[in-house]
């Protein structure tokens, strides 16, 4: 599952987002600053479940499991016409996200919607 793809030299690039590279224990991570894009994005008001409600629902089940949602936003794909808005520039070149990046205004709502679809009763 490729999260980003390199933009070719012959592609027209209209917009890019600055990126920082965060280093932690000799591992690097790209951190795009999508604040300008977020200012123009319409808020998706999809609700995140309340913990007491979730615990009440879990109480009736005999078995409970857990799942690791590490890099969960990256499980959601990005529509091809939106990828051009998710371009980042750094010293290695210009890239665009093919999966939902962290830092997008509606990423949490999209991720919760995906979880609700997967885990529906």
List pLDDT tens digits, range 69-113: 778 888 888 999 999 999 988 888 889 999 999 889 999 999 999
Domains in the chain and their CATH numbers?
A: 4-118 (3.10.10)
**Cα separation of 69 and 71, whole Å?**
6
Q: Is residue 55 over pLDDT 70?
A: yes
**Residue 73's Cα: distance from chain center in Å?**
4
Is-contact 76 104, C-beta < 8 A? no
The CA distance from 13 to 112, in Å, is 31
pLDDT in tens, 11-48: 778 888 888 777 777 777 778 899 999 999 999 999 98
């Amino acid at each position: 599952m490729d999260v980003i793809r390199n933009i070719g030299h012959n592609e027209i690039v209209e917009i890019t987002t600055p990126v920082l590279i965060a280093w932690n224990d000799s591992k690097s991570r790209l951190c795009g600053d999508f604040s300008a894009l977020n200012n123009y994005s319409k808020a998706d008001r999809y609700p995140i479940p309340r913990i007491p409600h979730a615990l009440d629902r879990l109480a009736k089940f005999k078995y409970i499991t857990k799942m690791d949602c590490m890099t969960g936003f990256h499980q959601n794909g990005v529509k091809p016409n939106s990828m051009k808005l998710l371009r980042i520039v750094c010293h290695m070149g210009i890239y665009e996200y093919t999966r939902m990046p962290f830092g997008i205004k509606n990423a949490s709502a999209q991720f919760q919607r995906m979880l609700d679809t997967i885990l529906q009763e």
